[in-house]
């Protein structure tokens, strides 16, 4: 009965933002939540600069894979978080879904310019995602401790 609720993070391509969020939320609340990511039109790869900027933050997402959201239709998904507008519009309602949050972020995969300019955008988006998902994890942790206190 101690199964962790599944939080599914969706983005269109499942190559950048959703993997940044998955890695960070797993770091912040992996003890409380099962975390996965997927896309409505997955690219089939995780962007190398996403892997690089997460490594800089001490999070290894090099083993992540790009998946289609339909792979989760038969899973008990408690919360869906969309991190881009297209995924929010294409998001199915999962049968067990209780919560849906939409927190859009710029797409670093669209970055142009020098390697340094691209990395700067990836880092900015990573840091924005980190702030939002750290707050979300803290809220989930607070809610859990409040529920545990009330049920004692």
**Distinct helix (H) and strand (E) counts, the chain:** 4, 4
Give the whole-angstrom CA distance, residue 116 versus residue 59: 20
Give the whole-angstrom CA distance, residue 123 versus residue 53: 6
Q: Could you tell me if 86 and 105 are in contact, meaning their C-beta atoms sit under 8 angstroms apart?
A: no
The residues near 61 (Cβ < 8 Å, ≥ 6 apart) are 19, 20, 22, 23, 46, 50, 51, 54
Residues classed as catalytic: 11, 84, 91
Q: Which one, of 81, 84, 77, lies nearest residue 98 by Cα?
A: 77
């Amino acid at each position: 009965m101690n199964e962790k609720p599944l939080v599914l993070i969706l983005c269109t391509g499942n190559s950048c933002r959703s993997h940044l969020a998955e890695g960070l939320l797993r770091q912040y609340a992996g003890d409380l939540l099962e975390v996965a990511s997927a896309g409505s039109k997955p690219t089939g790869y995780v962007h190398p600069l996403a892997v690089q900027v997460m490594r800089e933050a001490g999070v290894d997402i090099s083993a992540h894979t790009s998946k289609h959201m339909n792979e989760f239709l038969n899973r008990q998904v408690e919360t869906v978080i969309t991190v881009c507008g297209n995924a929010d519009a294409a998001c199915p309602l999962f049968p067990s879904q209780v919560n849906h949050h939409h927190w859009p972020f710029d797409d670093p995969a669209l970055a142009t310019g020098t390697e340094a300019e691209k990395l700067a955008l990836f880092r900015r988006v990573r840091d924005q995602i980190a702030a939002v998902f750290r707050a979300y994890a803290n809220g989930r942790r607070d809610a859990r401790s409040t529920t545990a206190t009330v049920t004692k």
